[in-house]
């Protein structure tokens, strides 16, 4: 412990801050009626935007980094967890880790176990706004929606965008800066905008 404090003092600071925010995060999750599980770790306080008639659940081992000092990739905002409307569903498995990103479900986002999401990535199941200009005037928040499914053991790099209707198969990797608009099969690496398969694992 002494060597760690000498060689990497910021890690000790992060752990101390983690314990300081713990009671506040417990209250935040309880106020939003989100079931609490074991092994959760929070570096900074996430933002929760939960519709009262929606559902959020997270498995054991959840780790969220919302503080800019908690990671050398410097999250540019706290982790945002959002279920936008009545009936929205956000279900995340065990050992999920995310740094300064966004999970926003209008309809449904389902994430498996052992998924890691790099800094400042957004996972959205909606376009938010319609593409057709007349529709935007009449219904500004009436964008198309489709569920997002992310399998087990997936790694998503930093600064990615995963859009509506996408399924990412077990064990796949999404390269940093990618925009995922189509399904990703299991066991591959995808990268680019739009993301394409660059390697099989």
Give me the catalytic one of 37, 51, 77, 129.
129
Question: Could you give the angle at the alpha carbon of 70 between the alpha carbons of 68 and 76, nearest 5°?
Answer: 25
- Per residue in 138-196, pLDDT (tens digit) is 776 766 889 999 999 999 999 999 999 999 999 999 999 999 999 999 999 999 999 99
* CATH architecture of structural domain 2-200: 3 Solenoid (2.160)
Tokens of 147: 């569920």
Ranges of residues in the chain whose predicted pLDDT is under 70: 1-6, 129-130, 132-137, 140, 142-143
**CB–CB of 115/84 below 8 Å?**
no
- The burial of 128, by beta-carbon neighbours within 10 Å (0-12 exposed, 13-18 middle, 19 or more buried), is given as middle
The candidate with the shortest Cα–Cα distance to 163, out of 99, 85, 104, 100, is 104
Predicted confidence at residue 1, as pLDDT, reads 46
Pairing of strands 188-191, 196-200: antiparallel
Whether residue 40 has a cis bond before it, omega within 30° of 0: no
Does the active-site annotation cover 129?
yes
């Amino acid at each position: 412990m002494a060597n760690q404090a000498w060689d990497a003092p910021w890690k000790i600071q992060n752990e101390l801050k983690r314990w300081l925010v713990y009671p506040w995060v417990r209250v935040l999750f309880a106020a939003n009626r989100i079931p609490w599980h074991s092994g959760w770790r929070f570096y900074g306080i996430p933002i929760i935007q939960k519709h009262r008639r929606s559902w959020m659940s997270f498995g054991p081992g959840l780790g969220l980094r919302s503080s800019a000092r908690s990671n050398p990739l410097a999250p540019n905002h706290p982790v945002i967890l959002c279920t936008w409307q009545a009936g929205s569903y956000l279900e995340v498995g065990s050992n999920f880790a995310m740094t300064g990103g966004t999970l926003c479900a209008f309809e449904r986002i389902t994430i498996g176990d052992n998924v890691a999401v790099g800094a400042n990535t957004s996972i959205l199941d909606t376009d938010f706004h319609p593409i057709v200009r007349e529709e935007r005037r009449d219904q500004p928040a009436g964008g198309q929606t489709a569920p997002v499914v992310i399998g087990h053991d997936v790694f998503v790099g930093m600064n990615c965008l995963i859009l509506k209707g996408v399924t990412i198969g077990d064990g796949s990797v999404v390269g940093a800066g990618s925009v995922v608009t189509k399904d990703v099969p299991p066991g591959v690496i995808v990268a680019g905008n739009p993301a394409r398969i660059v390697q099989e694992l």
